[in-house]
Amino acid sequence: MNMSIVCSKDKYIDLHLHLDGAVTPEIAHRLAEMQGITLPDDDILEEQLSVQPDCSSLNDFLKCFELPVSLLQTKEALSECVYMVCTSLKEQGVIYAEIRFAPQLHCQRGLTQEDAVRAVLDGLERSSLSASVILCCMRGSGNEKENFETVEVAKKYLTNEGGVTAIDLAGAEALFPTKNYRELFARARKYGIPFTIHAGEADGADSIRAAVEFGAVRIGHGVRCFEDKALMEIVRKNGIAFEMCPTSNRQTHSVKDMSDYPLMAYLSAGIKVTINTDDPAIERTTIAEEYRYIQKLFGLDEKQKKQLLSNAVDAAFTSERVKSKLRRELGIAAEGVLDD
């Protein structure tokens, strides 16, 4: 699917979108041309840039990032990729997006983390899409220094709109438990940096509980929160938003049977659930396709769709000025209140 030409009259918000998961073959060719890199034939390229039918887990899924990351090792490539992704999103009807990436993954050819962040911000500034940037720390071994450096860079560039507005923790959740990152997020909290954490995707409800205890105001995925009813109530009472990504959760087998996907149950329980793409190029999806998928699974009606969009506005890491503008565009009167 060439997602750059999929246009939409509907309006959408995407709060959970990884830059390196949004590299389409078209973008890959542009980045390779800029750097004099030879890519494989188109059929092989498309296979390397998208998830395969035999994907059995999140760990398998993460292998799809190797080629995109290798193409994003210069300032020019990072800036151009962000610009092209934002342009495509706007054509798809996205009126606000939060693009996340891990600066430490883009230092293989001489860039510093700060160089990478400045390049991404340059691409964002060149685009006409209303958007923010989330800096990802990475689960893993031997990269504690790099994670703390990401927090320091986030502190330096932190703003409340149009730039770096939050941090995240991404990577192999089952191999590197959330509970191991308490000190990292204590530092972020000390600096006043808002954060989301990937949790409850490849690990259980305890992972979400740890993220909540750290002070996360949003949870990436949160699929397995239903395992702990008391935790669900804590999440609801504290207005913690879930960034759910249906196609991604199906492809990584975060849910065994999508008929049991908990998104609508969370919505009914009053949790601020949102719909997002995660890695649109890898999954061959768009935000419009994600909404259609949930509608097909559960019969999503217009009021529920509007509630999901309202939740996304409320949860966005951006200023009240931007949120007010988004609410006007979507016909939402005030925080949590739908304009019928």
How far apart CA 248 and CA 239 sit, in angstroms, is 24
How far apart CA 181 and CA 151 sit, in angstroms, is 12
Q: Does 201 qualify as catalytic in the annotation?
A: yes
Pick the catalytic residue: 80, 201, 289, 290?
201
User: Which residues make Cβ contacts (< 8 Å) with residue 146, sequence separation at least 6?
Assistant: 104, 113, 138
Element (DSSP H or E) covering residue 97:
strand 94-101
For 294, the token pair is 């949930």
Residue 221, SS3?
strand
Name the residue type at position 29.
Answer: H
Q: Give long-range contacts, CB 8 A cutoff, 24+ apart: 253-258.
A: 253/55, 253/56, 253/57, 253/58, 254/58, 254/201, 254/202, 254/221, 254/223, 254/224, 255/223, 258/297
DSSP bridge pairs for 133: 99, 164
User: Which residues make Cβ contacts (< 8 Å) with residue 238, sequence separation at least 6?
Assistant: 212
Determine contact, residues 124/131, Cβ cutoff 8 Å: yes
How far apart CA 178 and CA 280 sit, in angstroms, is 25
Q: List the catalytic residues.
A: 201
